[in-house]
Amino acid sequence: MSDQPTDQPLAGKVALVTGGSRGIGRAIAEVLAADGATVAVHYGSNREAADEVVAIITGKGGKAFAVGADLSKKAAAQALFAELDQNLQSLTGSTKFDILVNNAGIAPFVSFADTTEDVLDQIYAVNFRSLYMVTQEALKRLNDGGRIISTSSILARIPVTALPAYSALKASIDNLSKALAVELGPRGITVNVVAPGNIDTDMNAFAADPNTKAWALSKQALQRVGKADDVADVVAFLAGPRSRWVTGQVIEAGGGSGLTF
């Protein structure tokens, strides 16, 4: 990866971004494509949104295509890669790829007392089980020297009571990624986590509600709500050649949230 020109550091690379049709995932897909990668934009149910991202990328001269799978279901990883394999075989003549970005996730605002088994199972299925199984399938195809980047959350370090299950399961991503970094080191594959803080997306109630927004900003060194691009640029760094000596790390993209007591 280190031989690529700096204006297109991912030229010739192929990336899969789960949850790539909206919010942070959309920004990640667009910046990876701008850096030269061919991007598979995953969607769960909204094909139209994924096609819109693909159209934006291709309209700027980039390369992208959409792949769908409901990651809340068992065997979703196999379904996702069956479609991905077909597309890659057609485009490149191979099912191999270089960059996996595990970004898909849900964040229902449910208190600990109100969390039912069904809600807990849904959060677990999308936010952790699918990531685990998608990564497992990806490793059958990921080129040596590749990249695995997962989006966690600053709430893995400083949980909030409105999102107890979400906070706890995001912490499991941080832990898993450290173990995988050691396991995959001999293949030259780096494994890292980007942990967003208060980011303005349609999934983030903190950015929408004035009271919670003020509270979040009071805990933050950089006094603003983050943008999806703020996270995507960190992911792009980790996907590129300049991050070659970085692995097993959790990098917070949260404007310096919760740095002091």
- The 3 state secondary structure assigned to 130-179 is HHHHHHHHHCCCEEEEEEEEEECCHHHCCCCCCCHHHHHHHHHHHHHHHH
Which position has the token pair 């031989």?
A: 3
In a domain, residue 257? The reply is: no
Indicate whether 260 belongs to any domain: no
Question: What is the per-residue pLDDT for 201?
Answer: 79
Q: Is residue 4 part of a domain?
A: no
Rounded CA separation 14/147 (Å): 11
Residue 197 falls within a domain, yes or no?
A: yes
Residue 169, token pair as written in the block: 């399961």
Q: How many CA atoms lie within 13 A of 199 on its CB side?
A: 26
- Quote the domain boundaries for residue 62: 14-252
Task: State residue 4's pLDDT score.
Answer: 46
pLDDT in tens, 193-222: 999 998 987 766 555 678 878 888 888 999
Higher pLDDT, 254 or 209: 254
Can you give the pLDDT at residue 6? 61
Catalytic status, residue 124: no
The reported pLDDT for the residue numbered 207 is 58
How many structural domains compose the chain? 1
Residue ranges of the alpha helices (H) in the chain? 23-34, 47-59, 76-92, 117-124, 130-138, 164-184, 205-208, 210-218, 228-239
For residue 140, what is the domain's CATH number? 3.40.50.720
What pLDDT score does 5 carry? 46
Q: What is the pTM of this model?
A: 0.94
In a domain, 138, yes or no: yes
Mean pLDDT of 124-133: 98
For the chain, give the mean pLDDT.
Answer: 94
Find all residues with CB under 8 Å of 215, minimum gap 6, and list them: 206
Q: How far is it, in rounded angstroms, from Cα 15 to Cα 238?
A: 12
**How many residues belong to the chain?**
261
Please tell me what DSSP assigns to residue 94: S
Residue 120, pLDDT score = 98
Give, to the nearest 10 degrees, the angle between helix 23-34 and helix 47-59: 30
